[in-house]
């Protein structure tokens, strides 16, 4: 028997995703009484994280609206859904290339501004040359980052007759196998920038990728090239992009991120963050978020967390499964296993993982784990949270949190 869980939706979440919630999950309007928060864009940076909260699932990729450090210290696992909206973004990138190559928007706006009448057809034939452009077939596209979105963009461009170059020193085996053999891999970013008519960036925003495309990279690009950014606004140095557009070195800048600076740029096509704005993408993100959060709450497995490492022991079937979330410092795991031994509890299976400052471990035991033992575990230095997830005799989960050696519940 699984514990009854409460879920709070802090934004509108796709009904298809909510239908995936198991029978032990109940929606509530009270976030303070919830085991799980489902969010999209809600700003949680200053939100109080209730003691009961176990997980936050973001139906999307970006998590800059979630206080990751505080969540980690309180043992709250934060999930996102990388790749769930990949096709929606990739399609929009292709559309961005077409918009940059042919003045589709200008032509459509001109027609809309004309007065209806019998002269319109003749006027259209006269003025259409003002909106002519170029085909993308035969042009060169450089894709920076060949992950969930990037490899789809590259493959789509190949199918449309473009010559595609790809740069990704960290490409995974999964996406390398999915990448078209017609994509030319390059080992130096400068080689891609110098060769391509279009450059599309698809890398995650981290401290080392902030301003990834700056003045030096723009100077390396072919004169009259088009830059597309459908990943994150801060990946490019906007001041340098604006200057390149002003000087005519960059023909177009196409982005999905509007702000008070870029809207003033000449020859920029700025969209209102439409990358994941499809019904299919919203459904996919919600379904993925719910599945991952349920697996964590019911079994302790972690997949696609941004603040704790991936870890899994499959479905919980032993009398007891214990999860320990802790700081990634030496000696914690050995202390935990010693305490199991001192309590006379054999460990049938265990797995541990660490990433950055956080770590976690799962233990399957053949006997019921008593509350007193779990509280003793949680009292150890650098333990963030202890969860007793499963037990047929005592099916209701208990959670114990230590705060600087203080009280737990």
The percent of residues above 90 in pLDDT, for the chain, comes to 86
- In the chain, what is the straight-line distance between the N-terminal and C-terminal CA atoms, in Å? 22
**Are residues 247 and 377 both part of a single domain?**
no
Whole-number average pLDDT of the chain: 92
Total domains in the fold of the chain: 3
pTM of the model: 0.82
pLDDT of the residue at 393: 42
199-237: pLDDT as tens digits: 999 998 889 999 999 999 999 999 999 999 999 999 999
**Are residues 146 and 202 both part of a single domain?**
yes
CATH for 185: 3.40.50.720
84-132: pLDDT as tens digits: 999 999 999 999 999 999 999 999 999 999 989 999 999 999 999 999 9
**Are residues 112 and 255 both part of a single domain?**
yes
24-52: pLDDT as tens digits: 999 999 999 999 999 999 999 999 999 99
Which residues are catalytically annotated?
232, 260, 273
Residue ranges making up the domain that contains 409: 308-409
What is the pLDDT confidence band of residue 190, given thresholds at 50, 70 and 90? very high
Residue 314 tokens read as 């499959």
**Are residues 158 and 253 both part of a single domain?**
yes
More confident residue, 64 or 227: 227
**Are residues 327 and 283 both part of a single domain?**
no
pLDDT of the residue at 400: 58
Q: What angle do CA 266, 271, 272 make, to 5 degrees?
A: 130
Least Cα distance to 256 among 280, 242, 275 occurs for: 275
pLDDT of the residue at 398: 54
The residue-averaged pLDDT of 337-354 equals 95
Q: Tell me the sheet residues that pair with 398.
A: 388
pLDDT of the residue at 399: 63
**Are residues 128 and 217 both part of a single domain?**
yes
pLDDT of the residue at 401: 61
Least Cα distance to 404 among 324, 322, 327 occurs for: 327
CATH for 369: 3.30.70.260
**Are residues 90 and 172 both part of a single domain?**
yes
**Are residues 314 and 292 both part of a single domain?**
no
Residue 392 has pLDDT above 60, yes or no: no
**Are residues 167 and 196 both part of a single domain?**
yes
pLDDT of the residue at 1: 65
**Are residues 140 and 237 both part of a single domain?**
yes
User: Is there a contact between 82 and 148 (Cβ–Cβ < 8 Å)?
Assistant: yes
232-288: pLDDT as tens digits: 999 999 999 999 999 999 999 999 999 999 999 999 999 999 998 999 999 999 999
**Are residues 285 and 248 both part of a single domain?**
no
> 3-state class of 111 per DSSP?
helix
pLDDT of the residue at 61: 85
pLDDT of the residue at 371: 80
**Are residues 339 and 236 both part of a single domain?**
no
Tell me which of 196-210, 298-312, 385-399 is least confident. Answer: 385-399
Q: Residues near 207 by Cβ (< 8 Å), separated by ≥ 6?
A: none
Residue 346 has pLDDT above 90, yes or no: yes
The C-alpha atoms of residue 267 and residue 245 are separated, in whole angstroms, by 7
Pairing between β-strand 320-327 and β-strand 383-390 as defined by DSSP bridges? antiparallel
């Amino acid at each position: 028997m699984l514990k009854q869980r409460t879920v709070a939706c802090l934004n509108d979440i796709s009904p298809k995703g909510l239908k995936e919630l198991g029978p032990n999950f109940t929606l509530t309007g009270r976030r303070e009484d919830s085991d799980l928060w489902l969010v999209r864009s809600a700003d949680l940076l200053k939100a109080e994280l209730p003691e009961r909260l176990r997980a936050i699932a973001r139906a999307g990729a970006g998590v800059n609206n979630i206080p990751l450090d505080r969540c980690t210290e309180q043992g709250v696992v934060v999930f996102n859904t990388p790749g769930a909206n990949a096709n929606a973004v990739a399609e929009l990138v292709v559309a961005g290339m077409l918009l940059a190559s042919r003045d589709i928007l200008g032509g459509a706006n001109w027609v809309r501004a004309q007065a209806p009448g019998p002269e319109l057809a003749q006027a259209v034939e006269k003025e259409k040359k003002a909106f002519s452009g170029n085909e993308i077939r035969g042009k060169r596209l450089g894709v920076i980052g060949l992950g969930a979105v990037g490899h789809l963009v590259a493959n789509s461009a190949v199918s449309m007759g473009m010559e595609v170059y790809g740069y990704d020193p960290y490409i995974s085996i999964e996406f390398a196998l999915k990448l078209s053999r017609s994509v030319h891999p390059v080992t130096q970013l400068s080689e891609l920038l110098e060769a391509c008519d279009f450059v599309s960036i698809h890398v995650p925003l981290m401290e080392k990728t902030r301003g990834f495309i700056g003045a030096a990279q723009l100077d390396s690009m072919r004169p009259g090239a088009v830059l597309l950014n459908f990943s994150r606004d801060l990946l490019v140095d906007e001041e340098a992009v604006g200057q390149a557009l002003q000087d005519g070195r960059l023909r177009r800048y196409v982005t999905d991120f509007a702000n008070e600076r870029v809207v003033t740029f000449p020859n920029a096509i700025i969209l209102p963050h439409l990358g994941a704005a499809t019904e299919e993408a919203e459904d996919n993100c919600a379904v993925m978020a719910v599945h991952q959060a349920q697996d964590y709450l019911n079994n302790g497995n972690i997949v696609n967390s941004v603040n704790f490492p991936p870890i899994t022991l499959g479905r919980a079937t032993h009398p007891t499964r214990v999860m320990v979330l802790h700081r990634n410092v030496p000696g914690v795991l050995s202390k935990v296993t010693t305490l199991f031994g001192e309590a006379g509890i054999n460990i049938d299976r265990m797995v541990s993982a660490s990433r950055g400052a956080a770590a976690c471990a799962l233990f399957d035991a053949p006997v019921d784990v008593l509350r007193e033992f779990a509280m003793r575990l949680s009292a150890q230095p650098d333990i963030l949270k202890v969860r007793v997830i499963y037990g047929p005799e005592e099916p209701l989960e208990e959670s114990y949190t230590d705060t600087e050696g203080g009280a737990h519940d």
